[in-house]
Structure 1
Amino acid sequence: MQTQRLGQRQLFNMLTGNLEKRIINLYSEKKDASTVIEYVITVLVRDSLSAAGFSLICWELIREIFLSGEPSGALRRFSAFFEGYFDAAEWKTVVARLYKNEKDYLAATEEARLYRSYLKEKYPTRTDELANHQFILKSVFKGANGRKHTWTLKNAHPTKSDEELAGALKILPLLSIFETNGVRKFTEFVEFTRHATVADLHYAEGQEEEEAGEEGSVNSGTEMEQAAQGKVIQKTNRKQKASDALPNEDRSAGDPKNVQSSSGAAPKKTTNKTDPPTTATQSDKNQRASNQKPPKSAKDNRKSKEGYLEKTREQIEEERNERKVSQKIAKFLKKRGKK
């Protein structure tokens, strides 16, 4: 399967590795050195106009073409753009292969030498208020049919001056590889604008919210663990209070005064230190008798039992709800452990 020719979209948008591979494959199939030279010049212009780096692309292939390839008009016209691919001795060899003499070299490469200074690398970092912005380059050209068209380059170089950007853009009309329905697109440079745009931080903010959510989940898990421990403590306290509030079913049966010892003898009568002396009057005795509470009847005991059973049902329902909460906490902690 033959490799397709590269157009404007591929040359200005493909990544370095894929683009270099496509150019090398095209040359190995068709041996069209002139087209390859214009492809690489386009990439050098892209390298100058954008913040991305594409310098010395196809280094070995370019050296092979100029050192051992058949000379052509494209090689003679554009050789000055590639002087940086060779050391001083190698460059002398290239010039000797392509030109009759030094005068011939200067005449053939006049345009290339004029524009190659605009392809020099510049430090791509700004230090002003636009340091964190991205830039879009919009340029206007005329085609061979006289109509204007706009070409846009994203991620434009942030520090190149207007003169440097315009000089690099003027190289494109020197090339013949860009056509639409047989009509050349870049025949005359008209103007350009470079717009600064705020970088899209939506993804970073989403990451921060996600991390905050994860931290919230951890804190929530800790709070749930503490709540679960608090529930257990409250449950123990409630059980203790319930046992303290357990009513006596029969006070007379539980009264130690009415319980005989194992030997059958009645227990000794204890003297209450708070009792009044035996010399108290009858009126005092009557007053004490009126102040004492009468023993609870069977009806009162039954009401007390019903109240206790009602409390017990409430406790059972509450314990059931607590078990549900505990199960939810256990599932949460299990899910958290898997993460």
Structure 2
Amino acid sequence: MSSSQQEGFASSCASLYTMVSHNALDSPESYTIAWITALPIERAAAEAMLDEEHRAPTGFTRHQTDSNVYTWGRVGEHNIVIAALASGVYGTTSAATTASGLLASLPSIRIGLLVGIGGGVARPDQDQDIRLGDIVVSQPCDTTGGVCQYDFIKAKSGGKCERKGFLGRPPAVLLNALTSIQARHERKDSDVPYLLQVMLESNPKMGKRTKKNPGYAHQGFDNDRLFKASCDYIPGPDCQGCDTAGEVYRDPRDTADPDIHYGTIASGNTLVKDASTRDSIVADLGKDFICFEMEAAGLMNHFPCLVIRGICDYADSHKNDRWQRYASATAAAYSKELLAYVPVAEVQETKRALDTAR
């Protein structure tokens, strides 16, 4: 994309971002895609990606079992409803509750996106060079549908562990979109950097940095440090006291633009923030995980969706909150770009999520 095209793209997006509709669509059935987040910062990034925001649709009635609060809007040609887990209540059960309430109130929903942050499994020596701010996307591989529940296992003889049960795959319409966007990215750069730029221009507060809030912009290469599993965290800001001898050297990147990785995401109710635990889970299940997170396993068999995560830490003791907002934004920007490859007609032809839940 030439510089003039980039400017035109950014200008076009900027005008879209400022479009806030005070109208309501005629029916809740106009909404066919649900976008679920866990944290307020993830929801903020999702809402910043809307091309148009709506009021609640005419005739919408919340089901008695539904306690969700919704944001309604449009991304490209798709009408989207955004929901988030209850504040401070995380994990697979909370995610399942959110999805259940959503589908009870909005039976017209066909597909979903679970978008937010996660802990990356970086193995640069094995060609798995995941960095903070990168994007990971669940993609079926071998016997997994793209997500594996790591805390649902059984012990076997010889000290080995085996996964119990299987999680569903994303719907075909989203897998076809993955094929299309991956092919596009073989030829052209991702639109994510431009979408982030427009987001910050249209929402200046998201770009401001304070001591408590580092903002939704890239946090700087100096603040992206990967340590060996044997290197313990020494309390202090930005790992200043951690042993530099335990830091893993990685070739510098020539751009701050996030890379996109596709593979198996590990999901469970336990927050993984210890490198030894992280590596033990990976070894026990024998999967080349690219990310750890805490909600997807509660959805995959009951809510057909794709999982998209921005990497905010390395699932080790060195994790901190600095990269969470930027990682939320990169995941949201990729989700917006992906939706351009999802045909509206194919979504309409897809079975309702209620009918495919197992």
Q: Which TM-score bucket, shorter chain as reference?
A: under 0.3
More strand by share: 2
More helix by share: 1
Larger radius of gyration between Structure 1 and Structure 2: 1
TM-score of the two chains, using structure 1 as the length reference:
0.24
TM-score of the two chains, using structure 2 as the length reference:
0.23
